[in-house]
Amino acid sequence: MRRGFANASLRAGAGTAALLLALCAHESAVADSAGDPRGTKPAAAQGKMKAAPMKGNGSGVGVQYRVAEATPQVGKAITVVLTFSGITDPGGAALRLSVDGGLSLGATEVTRTLPAGGPTTLTVEVVPGAEGVGYLHVFTAQYGATSATSIPVQVGKAAAALPSSGELKQVPGGDAILPMPVK
């Protein structure tokens, strides 16, 4: 009998602790956004950052990015804003940048160390040499693990998708095939 009461009080204690944690987290989030004037601007005015996916076995550094120019043009510098979070290694995290697909890096350092602690924001300029899709590759490393993020930069119109006929055709053997144009 005693054992049943001990389990019940343990469950009640765990539920109470979970409720207190949830309330504290909510109160903290409200307090953080209350004094921040950016919290009142619409999302479009703030410039929406895209979060890069993270793998469980990666460096653990979170990468968010935003290509600042709405219509990038060949030969003109394009600003890419990067924000890094989750840097817990006391020595910081290593950052390496590279490009391909006709992009070149502006005056930005190719390698640097990101400090531990809060988020770090970095502005990178890339210059496209031709129309198409180029990539800014961001490599982060901490505690001996490395992660890679490829940020697409579209210059000019995106390549048109090939139209599909959408009709199945019967072949003499009885199979149905979907003819598709070849580029």
Contact predicate 106/122, CB 8 Å:
no
SS3 of residue 75 by DSSP: coil
- Distance separating alpha carbons of residues 94 and 82, to the nearest angstrom: 14
Alpha carbons within 13 angstroms on the beta-carbon side of residue 179 total: 6
pLDDT tens for 52-93 read 988 888 999 999 999 987 788 888 999 999 999 999 999 999
Considering the entire predicted model, what is its pTM?
0.62
CATH of 42-155, one of 3.40.50.1580, 2.60.40.10, 3.30.1490.20, 1.20.1280.290: 2.60.40.10
- More confident site: 18 or 122: 122
Give residue 32's Cα distance to chain centre: 23
Mean pLDDT is lowest, of 25-39, 87-101, 119-133, 160-174, for: 25-39
DSSP character at residue 179: -
Parse the chain into domains and list their residue ranges.
2-39, 42-155
